Amino acid sequence: MCKGRGGVKVAGGALFAGRRATRFRPQSQGSRRMLLDAVFFLVQAGLDLFWWAVLLAAIVQTLLSFNVLDGRNRIVWTIADFLYRLTEPLLRPIRNRLPQMGGLDLSPLVLLLLITATTIAVGAVRGYLLRSGLYF
């Protein structure tokens, strides 16, 4: 028996002789796992939010084209402009590659499929890291 803090005898104290006990020392394995969990969560949350933004942008553009929503209304215009600026950088290259279908725009559907495929791929990478032991 060794003396611990305050002169109290501690069993097995010889095992820890010469080592400083730090209560809040970060664990390298645990902190790395928490970082990977945060990264995978943020990527999947970002993809989910962007999926909804593309869907809302397609709905708003359709409603504006059929004059169901008034584009002169300031709130409608602000929301439509925000969604357009958010989704157009990824929709424009898809529109350039798709054939002209008259008034039918299939680029949001293609982008939604690509986002879904990316979400599945991120989940597969996370699962692969878990099974291989690289993701503790």
Residue 56 belongs to domain spanning: 32-132
Does the residue 13 lie in any domain? no
How far is Cα 70 from Cα 68, in angstroms, rounded to an integer? 7
- Residue in 39, 40, 29, 27 with CA at minimum distance from that of residue 134: 29
**Tell me: the pLDDT tens digits for 31-89?**
767 888 899 999 999 999 999 999 999 999 999 999 999 999 999 999 999 999 999 99
Rg, the chain, Cα only: 27
Is pLDDT at 2 greater than 70 in this prediction?
no
Does the residue 120 lie in any domain? yes
Does the residue 7 lie in any domain? no
Domains in the chain, number: 1
Does the residue 14 lie in any domain? no
Task: Tell me if 95 sits within 8 A of 74, measured CB to CB.
Answer: no
